Amino acid sequence: MKPLILVSNDDGITSKGIRTLINVMKSIGDVIVVAPDGPQSGMGHAITVGDTLRLEENFIFEDVKAYECSGTPADCVKMARHFVLKDGRQPDVVVSGVNHGSNTSISVLYSGTMSAAIEGAIEGTPAIGFSLCDFSHDADFSHTEEYIRKITLQVLDKGLPKGIALNVNFPPKRNEAIKGIRLCRQANAKWIEEFDQRFDPNGRRYFWMAGNFVNFDKGEDNDEWAIANNYVSIVPCQFDLTAHQALPVLNELWDIL
């Protein structure tokens, strides 16, 4: 029996990247799509509470059952598992993307793409988030397809440790071919935010967030180095955010326990 593959994203169901991902997944197994009905970038692991969720079938993909959801990427995976697929097979793998832009380093925390994948991992399903490190409107996704297929087949064949989702980033298409795949750690980097103060026609003040991405990491074993050197980066991520190394330190130092 072919594997059942759940596809989602954060750029919306009409995005170029999700079409790339679906085309690759169709060559591997049976595909079901539940994706946002519009852009949900930067939503992190937000879920919809206190508001309605809408789910409608969408017929834009040939030979693929697809639904558009008004909620976040995490909502989409929840809806897929607990409504769309509640009476049938559960997915063998959750794949998200291909995101139009980088999700390396600290961006994984803000990423809706990765939150869809991590939601899959929370549910006990092997999961992968795919991103292309190219924000240009006409970004070329074609060089990602071979690696998407290889990585997905490896996960289906070998599995993943419990509670793990893979954060896969592709370098932008260059004149030279991708050099290969690097299993990496998350780079020590962050966004340095700036807020541009503006005023609307009624004189009301508003802000536009801007800023620069700063990489403090000098190592050659992280995702930022891999992308800069034309490798595909894979960072295994977990949803357990416990700082285990801090527990004995706090137990020893604090006098309120």
CB atoms inside a 10 Å sphere around CB 72? 23
Pairing of strands 4-8, 93-100: parallel
CA distance 214 to 192: 7
Report whether 255 belongs to an annotated binding site.
Answer: no
In 10 A of CB 239, how many CB atoms? 13
Cα gap 141→101, rounded to integer Å: 11
Identify the H or E element spanning 54. Answer: none
**Token pair listed for 36:** 């946002």
* Number of other residues whose CB lies within 10 A of the CB of residue 92: 19
Determine whether the annotation assigns residue 11 to a binding site: yes
CA dist 107 → 2, 11, 251 (Å): 33, 15, 31
Determine whether the annotation assigns residue 63 to a binding site.
no
Q: How many degrees, rounded to 5, is the angle at CA 207 between CA 201 and CA 209?
A: 140
Residue pair 124/164 in contact by the 8 Å Cβ criterion? no
Q: Is 70 in contact with 37 (CB distance < 8 Å)?
A: yes
Can you give the C-alpha Rg of the chain in angstroms? 19
107 annotated to a ligand binding site: no
Please state the residue numbers annotated as binding site: 10-11, 41, 99
Q: Cite the annotated binding site for a divalent metal cation by residue number.
A: 10-11, 41, 99
